[in-house]
Amino acid sequence: MAKRRNFTPDFKAQVVLEDLTGVKSPAGICREHRLRSQTLSRWKVEFLERLVEHCYYFINLQHLDMLEAIVLQHVPERYFT
């Protein structure tokens, strides 16, 4: 019986960002990392749900500068033009 693979949250976020930013196609990402397309879809939903939760957290605490720094660090510059 094959051992189940475990992925870190950082790895999942990196894979999802590759998909969301269009760096690679979903099919290419799944091939490269030997993932099922359903797994990538689930990770994407979880990522976006958590992103919204974190945005609300920073907005409610009036830490928009911190939120801006996080977004600028993880979102390619071409999305801001």
Average confidence (pLDDT) over 31-60: 86
Comparing 27 with 78, the larger pLDDT belongs to 27
Tens-place pLDDT, residues 8-26: 988 998 899 888 888 889 9
48 located within any domain = yes
Domain that holds residue 38: 9-76
> How many structural domains are present in the chain?
1
3 located within any domain = no
Average confidence (pLDDT) over 68-72: 72
Does 63 have pLDDT greater than 90? no
pTM: 0.66
4 located within any domain = no
29 located within any domain = yes
For the chain, the average pLDDT equals 82
2 located within any domain = no
30 located within any domain = yes
Q: If DSSP states are collapsed to H, E and C, what string results for 36-78?
A: CHHHHHHHHHHHHHHHHHHHHHHHHCCCHHHHHHHHHHHCCHH
Collapse the DSSP code of 6 into the 3-class scheme (helix H, G, I; strand E, B; otherwise coil) and give the result. coil
Task: For tokens 């976006």, name the residue.
Answer: 48
